[in-house]
Amino acid sequence: MGKINTIGVLTSGGDAPGMNVAIRAITRTAIYEGWKVQAIYRGFEGLINDEICNFTTESVSNIIQRGGTILKTARSNEFRTFEGRQKAYDNLKKHEIDALIVIGGNGSLAGALEFAHEFDVPCIGLPGTIDNDLYGTDNTIGYDTALNTIVSAVDKIRDTATSHDRIFFVEVMGRDAGFLCLNSAIAAGAEAAIIPEDQTGIDQLKQFIGRGIRKSKNSSIVLVSESPKTGGAMHYADRVRTEYPEYDVRVTILGYLQRGGTPSAVDRILASRLGVAAIEALKEGQRNVMIGVKNDQIVYVPFYKAIKKDKPIDPELINVLGILSI
């Protein structure tokens, strides 16, 4: 890899609290190393459309507490084509960008991997997604903040559930990963979590009802992953109305409020560490790797592993929820 003088940084895919922290850390660490920073707006779409400008230390002042991403984000159909990626590469060369840092989730890192292979561009990825579904890192940027947002919302919903003796099905994000659902259920004291990773074949609704939910409690909260594998909260609420009409049931879909808000201290520290480590990785000659944290240590995870391998749910957490929900 040739000498690096200028790096590009972009955010792609869904926004996540802490992305701005990562942008700040990358920018200031690069400048500390004597490198220039070119900020790319609106992800890969902005790279194609030449939405690129120089960033200084002042450009990232007073953003550490802000949710979302100051660089904006967009999904790019054009980047899925070779012609679109060629335009992106031409703009990289135009701005003399020697390496690219991509902050995003599974799809963003997959795009970076293909781009890097086609045009021999050194790419480093940072895991920025509330879903926490990238293999090789214990946590992703935004996950902790989203978890706290869900717990706060469920605490409020329980007040109404208790007042009216109701079952509430609360749908949370996560795509095909149940990390948000399971861990927020434990943290909020929910009675059950319906997640896509449950491959036991057991009817999770019947299992929940079969516990005798009214024996010791006058309300119940069930968290449901939004995944098509579960069917979502409305699916289970409709089943209760049909199969167990004696129960009063309601649904709350938390939606995009889970992706917003001020990043937690945990996410700020994680994003800061990963941002600094991204520049260190480039200094070491690393390329096509995601920066992660395992057992509190910085690790380099090849893109193909981060995006292709499934991140497993700890079965002990399912056991913990089951014991504590009696």
200: confidence class by pLDDT, cuts 50, 70, 90: low
Domains identified in the chain, total number: 2
User: What is the structure's pLDDT at 110?
Assistant: 96
State the chain's mean pLDDT as an integer: 93
Same domain, 67 and 130: yes
Q: 199 is in which domain, residue-wise?
A: 143-259
| In-domain check, residue 1 | no
The least confident of 149-158, 161-170, 200-209 is 200-209
Task: For residues 127 and 173, state if they share a domain.
Answer: no
Q: Are residues 109 and 42 in the same domain?
A: yes
- Marked catalytic residue, from 15, 98, 131, 133: 131
Q: CA-CA distance, 33 to 280, in Å (whole number)?
A: 9
183 lies in a domain?
yes
For residues 184 and 278, state if they share a domain.
no
Model pLDDT for residues 29-79, shown as the tens digit of each residue? 999 999 999 999 999 999 999 999 999 999 999 999 999 999 999 989 999
Asked if the structure places residue 191 within a domain, the reply is yes
Q: How far is Cα 71 from Cα 58, in angstroms, rounded to an integer?
A: 15
Q: Specify whether 133 is located in the same domain as 271.
A: yes
pLDDT at 199: 62
Q: Are residues 21 and 132 in the same domain?
A: yes
Question: Are residues 290 and 183 both part of a single domain?
Answer: no
**314 domain residue, yes or no:** no
- 17 and 109, same domain (yes or no): yes
pLDDT confidence band for 205 (50 / 70 / 90): confident
Answer yes or no: do 125 and 147 share one domain.
no
Pair 109, 157 in one domain: no
Does residue 164 share a domain with residue 127?
Answer: no
Mean pLDDT of 175-195: 94
Residue 131 is among the residues annotated as catalytic for this protein: yes
CATH number of the domain that 273 lies in?
3.40.50.450
153 and 126 part of one domain:
no
**239-294 pLDDT, tens per residue?**
999 998 988 999 999 999 999 999 999 999 999 999 999 999 999 999 999 999 99
